[in-house]
Amino acid sequence: MSGVLLIGRSGLAVGALLVVTSTFTAVVSPPGTAESVISALTVGIGVLVVVLGLLALLLERKRHE
């Protein structure tokens, strides 16, 4: 298995975990608190990690064509 493929799959898994857990925390915590702000930032970071993981997977598959 290629290194880029492994990085892409790991990025998707970690990003999905960040998005799911921090979205739940953001919904549960009261608005305007530090917890809700950190959770919202973590959702953004998780989405960025998912996008980068997808980009790595797409580049690796395109390289093999």
pLDDT tens-digit map of 42-57: 999 999 999 999 998 8
> What stretches in the chain show pLDDT beneath 70?
1
pLDDT for the residue 7: 85
Number of domain units in the chain: 1
pLDDT for the residue 29: 93
> CA–CA distance from 13 to each of 8, 18, 30, 35 (Å)?
9, 9, 28, 23
What domain range is 41 assigned to?
A: 3-64
